[in-house]
Chains A and B, each alone.
Chain A
Amino acid sequence: MSSFLLKTLTKKEEIDRIIRDTIDEVLVLRFGRCTDTVCLQHDDILAKSVTDVSKFAKVALVDVDSEDVQVYVKYFDITWFPSTVFFFNAHHMKLDSGTADHTKWVGAFHIKQDFIDVVEAIYRGAMKGKMIVQCPVPPERIPKYQLLYKDV
């Protein structure tokens, strides 16, 4: 309902532009469908916290159904919606949350504070020059999933 505050990107150029143009701010890209229930919950949390982190982060939604962005979907290997990818100054930031996949955050956040904590951890790590940061969210609130590789 409040996702009208968040920008939805549908074209590859838009994604490129926004990644290039966010300087000294964490860029949060959510890949997902706006109709999925988990996506809606996730979007709700994002929308509520976008003003709080506005000084050091920017949030954008990528609609995974459009044709242009399939390139990115394949590149980031996004299979579960929603998935959130973090960038800082056009670098892809990795997040170690105890799950198998460090390149992105899979699933929805449980509470607003979790999301803000993650963004802050990424910001601090990035300002120090790290490429991967530890996730500050306690493990009970991290969505669990199994990583299948070629149906193994």
Chain B
Amino acid sequence: MATLEDSFLADLDELSDNEAEMDENDGDVGNEEEDVDMDMADLETLNYDDLDIVSKLQKSQRYIDIMQKVEEALAKDSDGAEKGTVLEDDPEYKLIVDCNQLSVDIENEIAIVHNFIRDKYKLKFQELESLVHHPIDYARVVKKIGNETDITLVDLGDLLPSAIIMGISVTSLTTKGSPLPEDVLQKVLGACDRALDLDSARKKVLDFVESKMGSIAPNLSAIVGSAVAAKLVGTAGGVSALAKMPACNVQVLGHKRKNLAGFSSTSQSRVGYLEQTEILQSTPPGLRARASRLVAAKSTLAARVDATRGDMAGINGRALREEIRKKIEKWQEPPPARQPKPLPVPDSEPKKRRGGRRLRKMKERYAVTDMRKMANRMRFGTPEESSLGAGLGEGYGMLGQAGSNRLRVSSVPSKLKLNAKVAKKLKERQYTGGATTSGLTSSLAFTPVQGIELCNPQQALGLGSGTQSTYFSESGTFSKLKKI
């Protein structure tokens, strides 16, 4: 246990050391004590009392610097940037990049503060967290309710839709919470204020970026809108970085991975920030995937134009946007009406003869059977039998003649699979035939002329007795004949 504590402590020291370095780089001095104070106990039990331990962003120098610059720039409202200068050197551009990063940091910070508020307020009103999901709304609601036990006295009309207010009032009646002690309440309210401040700061930063995006990347913002353009540039890490990306990457910038390990991602549509653009919001859901690919491709082109600062008026961007709009409209138009097709010229198309197993099986039903084949042949020198006798009627050919190796010519079992109806009929016929004959009859018929001839059935099938060898066979011929 001691070693575990020691290792944790060691990790913690590393962490705080790292943070100390980073803050020093930013020029921050006053925050170190709190880092060092933060102990292992805080990490393990998460029972922090002071908000400032958790949320340090507002105090950091970086934040203060950037906010200051933003204020100045907003107040100054500087005119358009110079054409032709490299984008990276423009100080405004650097500010934009910093602002992007900062907005992401602020978002994380808000999440942390929200967790803090929620943990403290759980003692009072646990269910509120599941009713109101948005962190800023939650902070506002908590601020309004305060320590009040009767929610109906609190007017939440301008903060939330009435359905949720109703849900809150109902659950407040059955909640197990108790009013908070005074100091905890103060802390909670302070945290709410902090959250709201951060939110307004974030809004300010975003507005600033939006307003400047028109001069930083006019073509890109012409297509996707300044807010999304700012987000894209921020995530990519600069306009040139965005320009270097292939369009398929641009499409998924900002995509939130919602699937856990093991779940397929094919059901998700892989769109990132582009989903929030006006273009995609106005396309019907069936065409969204195609449209997002199109928008990603064109916005990459626009970003490339912006990276080289080729077109500061945004003409290219507007043209591309028009192109996108036209294409999406074209996809949505109904297909052309069907014309009635005229009949084809008679006998102009040759009949397509089909082959295959099905045709072969069908042909087998009408094929000439072995019995018929035997009946068609005749032995030389012996008169054949016929149905009416003495040469009249149908001739029997080789059927029934001595020496034909068959007593009864039975057909080779056909590989036919009769369909169910025909098979049933056949079986019926067999059985009904069998029912009328007595058990003493046999299918062998003895006549003085015919007699019985035992034959090797395998010979008829052509398999031979199996012990015959062709090498020493009596009927065999020379295997190879060569003329000398």
Interface residues of A (CB under 8 A from B): 51-56, 116, 120, 123-124, 127
A56 in contact with B346 (CB, 8 Å): yes
| Residue numbers in A under 8 Å from B346 (CB-CB) | 56, 120, 123-124, 127
Do residues A54 and B342 form an inter-chain contact, with CB atoms below 8 A?
A: yes
A124 to B344, CA, bound (A): 13
Would you mind naming 9 contact pairs between A and B with Cβ atoms under 8 Å apart?
A52-B342, A53-B342, A55-B342, A55-B345, A56-B343, A56-B345, A56-B346, A116-B343, A127-B346
In the bound assembly, the distance between CA atoms of A13 and B181 in angstroms comes to 112
* B347 CB–A CB distance under 8 Å: yes
| CB pair A53 B343 closer than 8 Å | yes
CA distance A51 to B342 in the complex (A): 6
| Secondary structure call for the B interface | loop
Write the nearest CB–CB distance from A24 to chain B, whole angstroms.
9
- The CA of A56 and the CA of B342, in the complex, are separated in Å by 9
* CB 8 Å contact bits of B315-352 with A (1 = contact, 0 = none): 00000000000000000000000001011111100000
Q: Do the beta carbons of A51 and B340 come within 8 Å of each other? A: yes
Please give the distance in Å from B191's CB to the nearest CB on chain A. Answer: 79
- Distance between B347 CB and nearest chain A CB, rounded to angstroms: 6
How many residue pairs bridge A and B at CB < 8 Å? 23
Cα A37 to Cα B49 in complex, Å, equals 102
A120: which B residues are within 8 A, CB to CB? Answer: 346
| Known pairs A52-B340, A123-B346, A124-B347 / 5 extra A-B pairs, C-beta < 8 Å | A51-B340, A52-B342, A55-B343, A120-B346, A123-B345
A124 CB, nearest partner CB in chain B, Å: 5
> Of all chain A residues, which has the CB nearest B344?
A55
* Contact residues in B for A116 (Cβ distance below 8 Å): 343
Q: For A54, what are the chain B residues with a Cβ–Cβ distance below 8 Å?
A: 342
Cα distance A89–B345 when bound, in Å? 16
For A127, what are the chain B residues with a Cβ–Cβ distance below 8 Å? 346-347
Using CB atoms, name the residue of chain B closest to A116.
B343
Q: How far is the CA of A116 from the CA of B346 in the complex (A)?
A: 11
Closest to B339 in A: A51
Q: In the assembly, what is the distance between CA of A120 and CA of B345, in Å?
A: 8
CB distance from B212 to the nearest CB of A (A): 64
* Distance A123 CA – B344 CA, assembled complex (angstroms): 12
- The smallest beta-carbon distance between A61 and chain B, in angstroms, is 20
- Could you say which residues of chain A place their CB within 8 Å of the CB of B343? 52-53, 55-56, 116
Q: Could you tell me the distance between the alpha carbons of A123 and B345 in the complex, rounded to whole angstroms?
A: 9
Q: Chain A's nearest CB lies how many Å from the CB of B338?
A: 13
Minimum C-beta distance from A111 to chain B (A): 15
Q: Which residues of B contact A55 (CB under 8 A)?
A: 342-345
Give every chain B residue within 8 A of A124 (Cβ-Cβ).
346-347
Taking CB as reference atom, which chain B residue is nearest A123?
B346
Min Cβ gap A134→B in Å is: 15
Write the chain B residue with the least CB distance to A53: B343
Question: Which residues of A are found within 8 Å of B340, using beta-carbon distances?
Answer: 51-52
The distance from the CB of B337 to the nearest CB of chain A, in whole angstroms, is: 14
CA distance A2 to B347 in the complex (A): 30
CB-based nearest A residue for B340: A51
- In the complex formed, the residue of B with least CB distance to A124 is B346
A127 to B347, CA, bound (A): 9
CA distance A116 to B342 in the complex (A): 11
Q: Specify which chain A residues have a CB less than 8 angstroms from the CB of B344 in the assembled complex.
A: 55
CA–CA, A87 to B345, complex, Å? 16
Complex alpha-carbon distance, A142 and B347, angstroms:
26
List the B residue with the shortest CB-CB distance to A24: B345
Q: Which of B331-377 contact A (CB under 8 A)?
A: 340, 342-347
Contacting residues, chain B, for A52 (C-beta < 8 A): 340, 342-343
Report the bound CA distance from A11 to B270 in whole Å: 71
Give A51 to B339 CA distance when docked, in angstroms.
Answer: 10
Bound complex: CA A125 to CA B344 (Å): 16
State how many angstroms separate the Cβ of A76 from the closest Cβ of chain B: 26
> Shortest Cβ distance from A106 into chain B, in angstroms?
25
Write the nearest CB–CB distance from A109 to chain B, whole angstroms.
16
In the complex formed, the residue of A with least CB distance to B343 is A52
Best-surrounded residue of B340, B346, B347 (most CB of chain A within 10 A)? B346
Give the shortest distance, in Å, between A22 (CB) and chain B (any CB): 14
Shortest beta-carbon distance, B420 to chain A, in Å? 37
Contacts of A51 in B (CB 8 A): 340, 342
Please measure, in the bound complex, the distance between the C-alpha atom of A52 and the C-alpha atom of B340, giving whole angstroms: 8
| B245, chain A: closest CB distance, angstroms | 55
- Across the A-B interface, the 5 shortest Cβ-Cβ residue pairs: A54-B342, A56-B345, A52-B343, A55-B342, A120-B346
CA A56 – CA B366 in complex, angstroms?
A: 38
| Bound complex: CA A53 to CA B346 (Å) | 10
Give the CA-CA distance A120 to B348 in the complex, in Å: 12
Expressed in whole angstroms, the minimum distance between the Cβ of A89 and any Cβ of chain B is: 14
A7 to B274, CA, bound (A): 59
CB distance from A54 to the nearest CB of B (A): 4
Taking the nearest CB of chain B, how far is it from the CB of A51, in angstroms? Answer: 6
Q: What is the minimal beta-carbon distance from A83 to any residue of chain B, in angstroms?
A: 24
For B342, the chain A residues whose CB sits under 8 A away are 51-55
